[in-house]
Structure 1
């Protein structure tokens, strides 16, 4: 079998990226390393940041040029789009009886749910960061998971979770689990739901 030859131009800082990747980080998603003085000022908008290098290795092949790939990454790093850039959600209704989970932070009552839930099983705070792509600034003290059940037809958008570049710990949060976005005002969300179970996570 003939070898596959890469014909696309390499990133101009490929050597730097390779050395940085070999130099050291942790598991996929990069959330295991605590924030330090060197990462506290992480410029996540730079393609040469740690999140940028991880994204480049995984996703740059999708783009015809380095410039297009860099622009796509920077759009992720500068925004907070909850969906992947290749996906456009459509609105639908969750039927009565449908259950989903949501991670809550300290001080957030179960009767005041956030806007997003998942059909995947949340087992740890790491799941919330890596697979649900919840940045530290959004929920710094996650301590429990709530299972909700729909009691009144609930308008939602459903799809995969888009990635985020988190300045805290200079982390790349890939997302990719399922998510639903409730399309009702925050003050009215609990009118559509009932709490089925609450359990701690760490």
Structure 2
């Protein structure tokens, strides 16, 4: 920030206002986000939920991928994903979250990446209940998704 006499020209209140994106404090610079899906508690009620850094040597996971998806998402499983039915039911991935599933990609979560792991909770979408019950791993920090190491080629599932 260049020096000057009027700090309020940049920040409306320099004691409380933070500008992480380098935007000027003007109307219309709000960051827009999609609303969170309703009724989407991802974890099984009453089941243990563990938050920890990835273990020494890393952790192998599988991730259901949409056709054309090249980057990892934030959710995976330590289970073997045999088919789309497993993704929909045991992993409770509704069409709202992922309209199509075409492949499974194995990844290594490097040691130290912050994760949560637990049991998939049930989801409901358009009157259909997706039971859950599979294992679930969440990569907590968005930037850590880029640290996941793909293992082999994606394998198609039906």
Structure 1 length normalisation: TM-score?
Answer: 0.56
- Supply the distance in 1 between the matched residues of 2:105 and 2:84 (Cα, whole angstroms): 13
**Any conservation in 1 of the 2:92–2:130 contact (CA below 8 Å)?**
yes
Structure 2 length normalisation: TM-score?
Answer: 0.70
Give yes or no for the alignment of 1:182 onto 2:139: yes
Other-structure match for 1:100: 61
Deviations 1:137-194 (A, max 9, x none): 2111110000001234211111000000121xx3211000101111111x44122x21
SS of match in other structure, 2:102: strand
Larger helix proportion of the pair: 1
Larger strand proportion of the pair: 2
Q: Which runs of 5+ in 2 are unaligned?
A: 1-36
Other-structure match for 2:82: 123
Aligned residues: 120
Give the alignment's Cα RMSD to 1 decimal. Answer: 1.7
Tell me the CA shift for residue 84 of structure 1.
1.6
Tell me the CA shift for residue 98 of structure 1.
1.6
- Supply the distance in 2 between the matched residues of 1:97 and 1:85 (Cα, whole angstroms): 27
Tell me the CA shift for residue 88 of structure 1.
5.5
